[in-house]
A = this chain, B = another copy of it.
Amino acid sequence: MTERRPIVHVVDDDDSVRTAVVRLLQAAGHEARGYGSAGEFLLGRSDRDAPGCVVLDVRMPGPSGLDLQEALARLEVPLPIVFLTGHGDIPMSVRAMKAGAVDFLTKPVSRDALLAAVRTALARDAETRSAHERLHAFRARYETLTPREREVFAGVVAGKLNKQIAGELGTAERTVKAHRAQVMEKMQVASVAELVHVANQLSGELGGFSAGAAKRE
């Protein structure tokens, strides 16, 4: 895979703080880059979805750190954020944490605390990123299914018999078998168990089929 080195983005309008943090991170072996404002950060990222995390000052001229957090949350794979501020208050920190921030540190921050938070953030990013990639492959395969195949897919995952599926779709059982084989082929799975497993993971994004009982009475 593209084993890209994670990048720590440091966004702070205070030059001295920013460069100090960047150097500290680099000294600890991280790839770090500084930005003077939220806008600069958003524009300057060539690699839109490269792995990494953000160290962010809350209070800055222009868009605040919280605004930036909101913007980042809309990315496909949102970068974890470590807040770092000198003028914060409790409601602000709570809001940031509720919105998924990894940590909310106050200046002056200890070297260890910052590094620990960054490590946590990078770890979280790696996790969500790999989870996301795993699902991405399945979603891509699902996209290749024809409408009819998707219906059969749903039926199979729900534990229905070919006969039942055929009845519901108003077609012959033989047809369902054909589609079913196509589904297994396209989804690259060898057993119903695997198919269900995949479906469960995708369920959030595809509208639940939930494997609800077949309920043949």
Contact = CB atoms under 8 A, between A and B. Distances in A.
Interface of A: 88-91, 93-94, 97-98, 103-104, 106, 156-160, 189-194, 196-197, 200, 210-216
Contact of A197 (B106, B156, B211): B211
Given A94-B103, A104-B94, A193 B211 contact: yes
Nearest to A198: B211
Copies in the complex: 2
A141 to B, nearest CB: 15
A212 B94 CA distance: 40
A89 B200 CA distance: 42
A197 B196 contact: yes
A215 B190 CA distance: 8
Given A98-B97, A200-B200, A193 B159 contact: yes
A133 B141 CA distance: 34
Contacts of A200: 196-197, 200
Contacts of A212: 194
Contacts of A104: 90, 93-94
